[in-house]
Chains A and B, each alone.
Chain A
């Protein structure tokens, strides 16, 4: 009877074996995190110190100064009075509805995450663009990172580093880094072959080619990737708040569990406002840095 049952029922692994595997893997990982958790935490210490310092800086700065500085940055990046006005109004509203501190916390963590994602993502993208082998190894990893539910990789991160800012930052980066990597790779691969050949023909070495031709020409694509990364990081804020990242995500989480609709809406809108500001600024900056392409549209 046991012989034919696999036709109707999937020949599943023995339940005891399965539990055994789970247990041994879990305990192996637990041992690993007990053994190395501290040193890994120590490794991330500088990042934590910077994160805390940056958050404190934003919180300690008087609100009007923050608004002035942010507006100035926006103006320098995109020279648009309309956008600046929008920024001022959103910040005033955020402050008026009592979300100032959380917004500052979120802003600081997003800034740090974005910077980290760029600092890691662009070099990885460059490596991918240079070797087809690297590309074939990294692409499936990126696929996993983008599709694996965020909660799943929160678990090992929390096991390793506990609850707090650093695991939050790591989770956000894992979630948000794929677009920079992908689009850096794509941008470099799409650089006009003849332009690159010209550089080679004049004796440029690989560094001169990378810095003088490939990166500048891939910049519009890379900027699109950075923009995507920022958006994804912002959308991860709520999930990251589950592992103790303070900011706009926490009130949202609270309002989900307690069914406070208005609280959730307000904080959600604040996240949207931040997203729009980051998006417009990075896009306007990308456009302005590509002014030499203007002629191409005309003729």
Chain B
């Protein structure tokens, strides 16, 4: 595997007057509440270890107060850790002297803030070009660049407005344009979309995904919304009271929650929208590859079913049922298994979002074959496995409905 871009090891953060003096208690495993009651210090982060790879969207999530903002501010050292190592490629960020830290912030990272953090006394265009102006880029050049990014985020024409004259969604676009304008390789986004209404929010998510497809940045994204995390994250880390409780890909987290806390999170998520067919399909067990009807019936006996997916050298062809085969068999069991015995049943793609295949799965008489681009049989999706995965969700939706 490639070397990680950012590496965090054994990170601790204690807020208070004398953080160092509290560290022995922290290492002794005292709880956050205990430490606060005994010493008046807040344990912000506890033993965080994580790596972020180049080009991925890494989502950090957790409830309010779990330390997300604290953690993301460590990446560019807006907050200094009490203990721990932060590495960017081979640079130890903790050891950077002030001047180099400034350079590092100017060129390597840019940040989008939860409450926008725009400068109210500068126009939108000046705000977008702020990063470049700090770098000392000439006015003409930086304003031209800023204009380009403003157009990209769909705010052409707003150049000379002030932030206060824009809506929340528009202001956050300005924040995004400002972050993109410095062309830094890492984008830190602290609950960038949380202040927006659901419609604009999903629009912004789409825009981010679209931009990421073009720009291939490394994005560290914070959210307290699992749906959002699953939608845009390549990998997700879940924080609870300053501790990392689970790290993994979206489906790892959905299907194997590490503990009750994660499970509680996962319970409320719309799995149908978060999972793909691939995540829930069963391996193909009903493969029929026989040449003749007799052989096909033999194979069907082995798989203990009354139908199967017929696959030949050209891939998946269709479905055969025991009934049709037995009828044909009476006449001649060495007859070739030809097209006339096949029933048509469209396969589904492994990458399809579960939600999109629910109707087909429910309507079909048989389990649906999962077929990849090249026509290979990858697995099968039964009504039952669909119900298993969505079951919890359905139950809890039912509960909320009766409650309401």
Measured CB to CB, the residues of A under 8 A from B are: 192, 194-195, 197-205, 208, 212-213, 216-217, 292-296, 299
Contact = CB atoms under 8 A, between A and B. Distances in A.
Nearest to B175: A198
B102 interface: yes
A264 to B, nearest CB: 45
Contacts of B131: 202-203
B164 A292 contact: yes
Contact of B111 (A192, A201, A216, A299): A201
B106 A198 contact: no
A295 B165 contact: yes
Interface of B: 73, 76, 78, 102-107, 109-111, 113-123, 130-131, 134-135, 162-167, 182, 188
A296 B105 contact: no
Contacts of A294: 164
B106 A202 contact: yes
13 contacts: A197-B113, A199-B130, A200-B78, A201-B76, A201-B109, A202-B106, A202-B130, A203-B106, A203-B107, A203-B135, A212-B119, A293-B164, A296-B164
Listed from nearest, the 3 A-B pairs whose CB atoms lie closest are A203-B106, A295-B164, A198-B117
Given A200-B105, A202-B110, A195 B164 contact: no
Contact of B134 (A194, A197, A203, A296): A203
Nearest to A193: B117
Given A203-B106, A203-B135, A216-B121, A194 B111 contact: no
A188 to B, nearest CB: 14
B19 to A, nearest CB: 18
Given A197-B117, A208-B134, 10 more contacts: A194-B114, A199-B130, A202-B106, A202-B111, A202-B134, A203-B106, A216-B121, A292-B122, A293-B120, A299-B164
A195 B113 CA distance: 9
Nearest to B111: A201
Contacts of A200: 78, 105
Contact of B113 (A194, A208, A217, A299): A194
Contact of A201 (B78, B107, B162): B78
Contacts of A213: 119
Contacts of A212: 119
A202 B118 contact: no
Contacts of B134: 199, 202-204, 208
Contacts of A192: 117
Contacts of B110: 201-202
B119 A203 contact: no
A133 to B, nearest CB: 15
B105 A194 contact: no
